[in-house]
Chains A and B, each alone.
Chain A
Amino acid sequence: MADLDRLMTLKGAIAAFAMNDRGELLDHRVVDGGELNEKALDLLAHMCVANIAIATMQARGWEASSENQGFYPVEGFTLVGFEWSAVTDGRVGVVMDNDGADYQAAYDLLGGQEVAV
């Protein structure tokens, strides 16, 4: 099971979540008093899965039509929003406040995560 509590230790983390391959929320954490809730995270997870699917198509086509490699399979998607960023890798994600967000640290931590579906 993904260690969502560990993801919440990232600087600026306001939520962490696990999802299945359809984007349905399996588990989540949110900071006390935060704006994000289960319903919002479920939709966010669906959006991330949708964007990964599109990027996967593009990566597949890019590799097939050029000599560039290493893009497929797409493992993660990050939305840098106006105030928040959602970083996903595999079936786990974390939402961070943009101020001081360390995306590399998030990917490093997410890279070691697995989620039970």
Chain B
Amino acid sequence: MIKRLLALDGVIAVSRFRDDGAFIDGHGLLPVHELAELAHFAHDYKRIVQGNADQLSMFTQLKGWTPPGGWIVRGANMTVCSVGNLVCVVDNAEGNVTEVLDALPISAGATAPRFPTGVSLAAGAGRVPPPVLQGTSPSLRQESSPAPSTSSPGPTSPRTP
């Protein structure tokens, strides 16, 4: 299903990884070992972004940031976009990151775009409890599960009726 992302303008590669960072699969113009490296890089960066977002919420007492749903790193000519456990590389000259960001969670199986799939790393430390601490987040359960995660990151967005 994630192959569909390659149909979007500018998308040159897409990779999927487990919650523990293990490479699941990838498609596109990159060789397989580089698709695996992309997944590894994305997993590491996801954890960093989650941690920083948790601290931002803790210090500012604002709940709008956590759990994070994704991230974008924009390079000189290429952009890397990630939502949940999917990451893709987009050519800046040809791609539209809004289209990609909307398509990523749908490709991951979510029923609504931009679903926050992150997991709070600083769980007990924040004075502002991120919503993931409510104890019902499937993504939190997936994070601690050793089993491969190839399915949906979770239920519908809180803003989706």
Q: How far is the CB of A36 from chain B (nearest CB, A)?
A: 7
Task: Contact check, B68 vs A79: say whether CB atoms are below 8 A apart.
Answer: yes
Task: Contact check, A82 vs B68: say whether CB atoms are below 8 A apart.
Answer: yes
Task: Contact check, B78 vs A104: say whether CB atoms are below 8 A apart.
Answer: no
Partner of B56, one of A43, A62, A101, A105: A43
**Which chain A residues border B41 with CB–CB below 8 Å?**
58, 62
Known: A40-B62, A43-B59, A77-B72. A68 touches B101 (CB 8 A): no
Task: Contact check, A77 vs B73: say whether CB atoms are below 8 A apart.
Answer: yes
Task: Contact check, A84 vs B65: say whether CB atoms are below 8 A apart.
Answer: yes
Q: Mostly helix, strand, loop or mixed at chain A's interface?
A: mixed
Known: A40-B60, A51-B49. A79 touches B71 (CB 8 A): yes
Task: Contact check, A54 vs B45: say whether CB atoms are below 8 A apart.
Answer: yes
Task: Contact check, A69 vs B73: say whether CB atoms are below 8 A apart.
Answer: no
Task: Contact check, A55 vs B73: say whether CB atoms are below 8 A apart.
Answer: yes
Q: Does B114 interact with chain A (Cβ within 8 Å)?
A: yes
Known: A68-B30, A102-B98, A104-B96. A43 touches B60 (CB 8 A): yes
Partner of B45, one of A55, A84, A103: A55
Task: Contact check, A71 vs B75: say whether CB atoms are below 8 A apart.
Answer: yes
**Which chain B residues border A104 with CB–CB below 8 Å?**
96-99
Select the residue from A35, A36, A59, A79 with max chain B CB neighbours within 10 A: A79
Among residues of B, the one whose C-beta sits closest to the C-beta of A75 is: B74
Task: Contact check, A82 vs B98: say whether CB atoms are below 8 A apart.
Answer: no
Q: Does B77 interact with chain A (Cβ within 8 Å)?
A: yes
Task: Contact check, B37 vs A66: say whether CB atoms are below 8 A apart.
Answer: yes
Contact string against B for A residues 50-71, beta-carbon threshold 8 Å, 1 for contact and 0 otherwise = 1110110011001001101111
Q: Tell me, in angstroms, the Cα distance from A52 to B48 when the chains sit together.
A: 11
Task: Contact check, A80 vs B72: say whether CB atoms are below 8 A apart.
Answer: yes
Q: How far is the CB of B141 from chain A (nearest CB, A)?
A: 18
Q: How far is the CB of A31 from chain B (nearest CB, A)?
A: 13
**Which chain A residues border B130 with CB–CB below 8 Å?**
82
**Can you name 5 A-B pairs with beta carbons within 8 Å?**
A43-B60, A47-B55, A58-B45, A74-B75, A79-B68
Give B residues with C-beta under 8 Å from A.
Answer: 30, 34, 37, 41, 44-45, 48-49, 52-53, 55-56, 59-60, 62-78, 80, 83, 91-92, 96-99, 101, 114, 116, 130-131, 159
